[in-house]
Amino acid sequence: MKDPIVITGAGIVSAVGVGKAATLDALRSARTGIGPVRYLQTAHTELPVGEVPLSDDQLKQRLAVTAEPTTRSALLGMTALDEALAEASLGPSPSQTVAFVNGTTVGGMDKSEEYYLDFLENDTRNAYIRTHDCGANTELIADRYGLFGQCFTVSTACSSAANAIILGANLLRSGQTQVAVAGGTECLTRFHLNGFNSLMIVDHGQCRPFDEQRAGLNLGEGAAYVVMEHLSSAHRRGAQVLACLAGYGNACDAFHQTASSDNGEGAFLAMRKALAMARLQPADISYVNAHGTGTPNNDLSESHALQRLFGQSLPPVSSTKGMTGHTTSASGAVEAVICLLALLHQVVPVNVGWQHPMAGGIVPVMDTVPRHALLHAMCNSFGFGGNDSSLILSSAVTAASSQSLKTLLHNDSTPHLY
């Protein structure tokens, strides 16, 4: 690409804390945020979850939100988006177009569950009916900022946020926007928890991705967004360049409604497409943030896909869902920001919960100190129905050294890198 897509801002909230600083601390200390249910009103208190450590009222107070109706998904999204926009120094401007692409599947289900009987019996809570769908939550978030000329909602289950980032990048490449803010948000709901529990893929203890004794996932919640623009735009605005979105790929093997194929065909194709776009070889990848849900099917299928792609030269691989829980539709963005932090701070996210090598599977990394410099990180997100996506983030320093970027710099001026 003659004018690469770079990331100039990022925000995140998950079970390990609010913001990038708290997330980085959790990565360095391998600290999990998974624990007993605190806020979700559920009978299944035996199931550990990864809840954001703030109640709805605390989120509203933090955000100074007083208007109703709103939803927990929207509040989480606003919390992450505030951080991303502040870092990118991005505000309303008549000279630039900004698109918002939001991935979510649960949407406002939390309020629908809480007020369903009121909807049936009286009219006092009917305002919440219109917050139920996914698009409504995108609008609730966007309305806070008065910034976005275009809003899009992506709902492809657990690959939603990754696909939102891909859509945002495609809007930039096609010239339909100058800046794209993309990611996803998802809160925990009873529908959410009961649905996965009915599939018998929820672990009653700490989840153990890629472990021989893995018994399923821990559900989590959270939100994350990245601000993307072309390098020339970032240079013109004087924005800090955090990383480059070097490549991405999406594939759908349509093998099964909920299961992955044995050989990981969709995952393999998505990763291969991302590498081809980035013009990288498998050996160039420094770290892979795996989808790694902890379910028997996913971890074996993804292991086979990784082994097909990387052969005997597998880079450090881990799933961070042992820290955050599986944030479902938000996971692609949550884990992309984790990859961004890994590149910026040269820390390897470890695979919390892993102890026993699995037959035919990969052995995840358990040391936070990288053996070699982290230059290119791959982030995998796989959705129901085989809708699989892979992103590749490259360090800003590596990107700035490439000839394609050098040609964009005028005289002695350089982009702001750190």
Active-site residue list: 158, 291, 326
| Token duo for residue 48 | 């550990």
H/E stretch holding 102 reads: strand 98-103
In whole angstroms, how large is the CA radius of gyration of the chain? 20
| DSSP one-letter code for 10 | E
Q: Which residues contact 116 (CB under 8 A, 6 or more apart)?
A: none
Structure tokens given for 328: 């479902």
Tokens found for residue 95: 């000279």
Cβ density class 213-250: b for 16+ within 10 Å, e for less:
ebbbbbbbbbbbbbbbbbbbbbbebebbbbbbbbbbbb
Residue 120: Cβ-neighbour burial (10 angstroms; 0-12, 13-18, 19+): exposed
In 3-state terms, what secondary structure has residue 289? Answer: strand
Helix (H, G, I), strand (E, B) or coil at 367: coil
Identify any residues that bridge with 184 across adjacent strands, giving them in sequence order: 103, 224
In the numeric block, the tokens 């420094």 are attached to: 286
- SS3 state of residue 382: strand
For residue 110, how far is the Cα from the chain centroid? 20
* Cα torsion through 67, 69, 72, 73, rounded to 10: -100
Q: How far apart are CA 83 and CA 222, in angstroms?
A: 14
